[in-house]
Structure 1
Amino acid sequence: MAYTEFDRERWVAEDPAQKRADRDDFARDRARLVHSAALRRLAGKTQILGAGHDDFVRNRLTHSLEVAQIGREFGAALGCDADLVDTACLAHDLGHPPFGHNGEMELDRICADIGGFEGNAQTLRLLTRLEPKRCHADGRPAGLNLTRASLDAATKYPWVRGDGPVPTRKFGAYEDDLPVFEWLRADAEPGVRCFEAEVMDWSDDVAYSVHDLEDAIASDWMDPRALRSRTEMRSVLEVAAATYAPDQDPAALAAALERILATGAIPARFDGSRNDLAALKDMTSRIIGRFVLAVELATRERHGPGPLSRYEADLVVPDETRAECAVLKAVANQFVVTTQDQMALKERQRHLLGDLVDAYAAEPDLRLDTPFRSDYRAADDDAARRRVIVDQVASLTDGRALLLHSLWVGPTAEGA
């Protein structure tokens, strides 16, 4: 199915004369993402380890670029518009606050009585309100004013809080962003993601499951020999079953680990030499290729040849492949995310963000950046004003959050 004019429509109509004849609508969307300040700020935000932890580990920007590279080729192989999937992949983490999912949890606590905070809903807010590119005729901001198809592809959870098809804390839009959410979801079945969003989501899962393992090994947070230890892997498989694949049988997850090891992709040792770094990089290529190809073949088996896009197909992820991906996620969780040192750091980071929200609220006219100061003055009530403050805090990089906290509240321990 070719993408229609309906798919290419923008929330705010733009002057056709400004269109370049040699650039497609979705290529324009991608260019707007690439040139956005929100994307640049991801360079200073946590992926698995804090930005600046060392010179190897990924940050949110490099992660997003890698997701986009995987998604672009994967989507194109299935018949999606490559620029459209690329845009969704670049956008998928824009709403993350400082300190990654840990910061997300703290802002959600702070916003519990005003609709919560969710990184995916914040992404939509950035794309359609906070990131400046276009405005409505009455002066209201319209964000980057991407096409309907691009916004839909970037919406991983197409529902508001509490309306998901399965119990989950994840959601894709706040109540006060419903007008644009309803516009971009026009004619879509409630709760059903478009095909491009499914491609983006699997590309994200593949990227972070494999790259977080690579970062953990390269940064000496884990020895790859641990993957062949039944004792060490027992707790990893428990995490995989409890957190990442609760519907999978524990035996299936153990078999998934054995299949990954049997590929020979994971190096038996790592000492940081160039040869070992090359072997680690080869590991990422082989496992990414394995995960993507399995899903491509399964999807083609169900839907046949020809272009697949929008709502004419659904992505098919075999249970065995999903189990393998879940095990790799659990490895990083066990050896990096939930270590004692990291848990203590996360607690300090949560306190820091709470302090910053209080500091901005105490002197909003002095401390808010100019765009947020205008939003604050235009807010109708205390809930709306708190949402503006949280928008400001969510926009900060890790480094700026640390700096502002030291200026306004006092010194913090290293890293938080």
Structure 2
Amino acid sequence: MAELAPYAADPARSRGRRHVEPGGETRGPRDAFQRDRDRIIHSIAFRRLRHKTQVFVAPDGDHFRVRLTHSLEVAQIGRTIARALNLNEDLTEALCLAHDIGHPPFGHSGEDALKAATADAGGFDHNAHTLRVLTRLETPYPSWDGLNLSWETLEGLAKHNGPILSPTWAMAEEDADFPLDLSTYASLEAQVAAIADDIAYDNHDIDDGLRAGLIDLDDVVAQPLVAPGWAAVIARHPNAPRPRLIAELVREQIGRMVNDLLVATRAQLAELRPASVEDVRAAGRPLVGFSDAMAADERAFKRFMYARLYHHPSQLAVAEKAGQIVAGLAAAYRADPSLLPEHWRATLPAAEPERTRHIADFIAGMTDRYAVARHCEVVGPVEMPEGL
């Protein structure tokens, strides 16, 4: 592995963990960020991602992406970028793998429903809930709650999309227990993880949307972000079958976006010349990003995908039903907490808002299919649209 850049996160200079770990509990020749990555991979919350919505709710096709496969794809892109920039690959990978752990069932429709159902208790935010899961709700260790991840991993998960000037209650609670300097930008590794997420879903959602028949290839390839890549693919493979052309297009697009990102980011780094990760945090702006032209095309493409795929009538119908499931569960458990499983009943706080937040923790941890099953049990059967 190449020597780390001076502005990369260095595990030897980590700010440490909330709970001090005796040396005997460090298993194997791994540094702090490698252990963080491994703790995330071995967590129950990470395993649950295989049955949580990415774009399509409980899809009946085995080839559609879910939160778990999406997170793996983000990690692959993130590591590639980190390696090219001489950043810490292990921290980048940990952040990529964990970035969606706080999502409730049914993606953003489930989050909207849970936020509304808990409005009187401070609401719900999936990014803050990621930290809550990793620092409180996962309990594999005898001596403390949470996975006891390093400061740098928690900071990156909190701030990968930028500084947090108005934290939600859950984020404020985490920051109070283990201050994360929420008002500054995060490390370059966290910035890479955030944009690797964009690159992954921009392109893999093309594949899934076409596979589902909800978007049209001619419309996709007419978009400024995609048109040059499609032209290059057709020029190289004029007689290839359409499925192979689509797969080649996705690879082409990822490569083009990564290469643009590397050129633009290296220019930013050459201009600022940060000498440490602290210089990165103090820069006052993100340093990892696309060129202006690519960024504009990417924003336009997102608008296209929202209009044609994410807000497609069939998607909205499923989202509405999914929201009803989450809302129904929240109402049922709040009205009668005896319906909760034994462990969740035994640890139910007596006072509000902690009581409602506890119920939200339970619901947020559900997979899509578990939420449907629990709704059938405590509320009643639910009719999902055909094919789901």
TM-score, structure 1 normalization: 0.81
Task: Report the AA paired with residue 325 of structure 2.
Answer: L
Aligned in 2, Cα 1:135/1:118: closer, same or farther, shift over 3 Å?
A: farther
1:233 aligned residue: none
Deviation, 1:373, is 3.1
1:151 aligned residue: 154
Which sits farther off after the overlay, 146-155 or 301-310?
301-310
For the 8 Å contact 1:159–1:172, the answer to whether it is kept is: no
Instruction: Give per-residue Cα distances to partners, 1:81-100, cap 9 Å, x unaligned.
Output: 11110000001000000110
2:237 aligned residue: none
Q: How does 1:71-86 map to 2 (within 5 A)?
A: 71-86=78-93
Aligned in 2, Cα 1:218/1:4: closer, same or farther, shift over 3 Å?
A: closer
2:283 aligned residue: none
2:171 aligned residue: 174
Q: How does 1:31-46 map to 2 (within 5 A)?
A: 31-46=38-53
Task: Report the AA paired with residue 317 of structure 1.
Answer: F
Deviation, 1:202, is 0.3
Query: Unaligned 5+ residue runs, structure 2?
Result: 1-5, 235-239, 281-286
Deviation, 1:17, is 1.7
1:223 partnered with 2:216: yes
1:312 aligned residue: 279
Deviation, 1:8, is 5.2
Aligned in 2, Cα 1:87/1:4: closer, same or farther, shift over 3 Å?
A: closer
Q: Which of the residues 351, 354, 365 maps onto 1:381?
A: 351
* Distance in 1, Cα, partners of 2:318 & 2:30: 46
Deviation, 1:73, is 1.4
2:228 aligned residue: 262
For the 8 Å contact 1:199–1:315, the answer to whether it is kept is: yes
Task: Report the AA paired with residue 37 of structure 1.
Answer: I
Aligned in 2, Cα 1:175/1:42: closer, same or farther, shift over 3 Å?
A: same
2:296 aligned residue: 323
Instruction: Give per-residue Cα distances to partners, 1:193-232, cap 9 Å, x unaligned.
Output: 2222111100001111111111111222122012366xxx
Instruction: Give per-residue Cα distances to partners, 1:42-100, cap 9 Å, x unaligned.
Output: 11111111133312210011001100111011112212211110000001000000110
Task: Report the AA paired with residue 19 of structure 1.
Answer: T
Aligned in 2, Cα 1:366/1:111: closer, same or farther, shift over 3 Å?
A: closer
Q: How does 1:168-317 map to 2 (within 5 A)?
A: 173-182=170-179, 185=180, 188=181, 190-227=183-220, 257-258=223-224, 260-264=226-230, 275-304=241-270, 310-313=277-280, 314-317=287-290
Residue 226 of structure 2 aligns to a residue whose secondary structure is helix
2:373 aligned residue: 403
For the 8 Å contact 1:120–1:172, the answer to whether it is kept is: no
Instruction: Give per-residue Cα distances to partners, 1:392-413, cap 9 Å, x unaligned.
Output: 0000000010111112211111
For the 8 Å contact 2:121–2:352, the answer to whether it is kept is: no
Number of residue equivalences = 367
Let me know the Cα RMSD of the aligned residues: 2.7
For the 8 Å contact 2:36–2:94, the answer to whether it is kept is: yes
Q: How does 1:53-68 map to 2 (within 5 A)?
A: 53-68=60-75
2:133 aligned residue: 126
Task: Report the AA paired with residue 356 of structure 1.
Answer: L
Aligned in 2, Cα 1:335/1:65: closer, same or farther, shift over 3 Å?
A: same
Task: Report the AA paired with residue 224 of structure 2.
Answer: E
* Distance in 2, Cα, partners of 1:265 & 1:62: 28
Deviation, 1:192, is 2.0
For the 8 Å contact 2:214–2:308, the answer to whether it is kept is: yes
* Distance in 2, Cα, partners of 1:327 & 1:309: 34
Instruction: Give per-residue Cα distances to partners, 1:16-60, cap 9 Å, x unaligned.
Output: 122245222211111111111101111111111113331221001
Aligned in 2, Cα 1:343/1:128: closer, same or farther, shift over 3 Å?
A: same
* Distance in 2, Cα, partners of 1:34 & 1:127: 12
Query: Unaligned 5+ residue runs, structure 1?
Result: 165-170, 230-256, 269-273
Higher relative contact order (CA 8 A, sep 6+): 2
1:242 aligned residue: none
Q: Which of the residues 93, 104, 119 maps onto 1:97?
A: 104
* Distance in 2, Cα, partners of 1:189 & 1:119: 16
Aligned in 2, Cα 1:267/1:19: closer, same or farther, shift over 3 Å?
A: same
Task: Report the AA paired with residue 145 of structure 1.
Answer: N
Task: Report the AA paired with residue 400 of structure 1.
Answer: Y
* Distance in 1, Cα, partners of 2:268 & 2:248: 31
* Distance in 1, Cα, partners of 2:177 & 2:202: 32
* Distance in 1, Cα, partners of 2:133 & 2:231: 39
Aligned in 2, Cα 1:64/1:353: closer, same or farther, shift over 3 Å?
A: same
2:334 aligned residue: 361
Aligned in 2, Cα 1:189/1:108: closer, same or farther, shift over 3 Å?
A: closer
Instruction: Give per-residue Cα distances to partners, 1:242-286, cap 9 Å, x unaligned.
Output: xxxxxxxxxxxxxxx336313325878xxxxx9322221111111
Identity of aligned residues (%): 34
Which sits farther off after the overlay, 53-62 or 257-266?
257-266
Deviation, 1:191, is 3.8
For the 8 Å contact 2:220–2:226, the answer to whether it is kept is: no
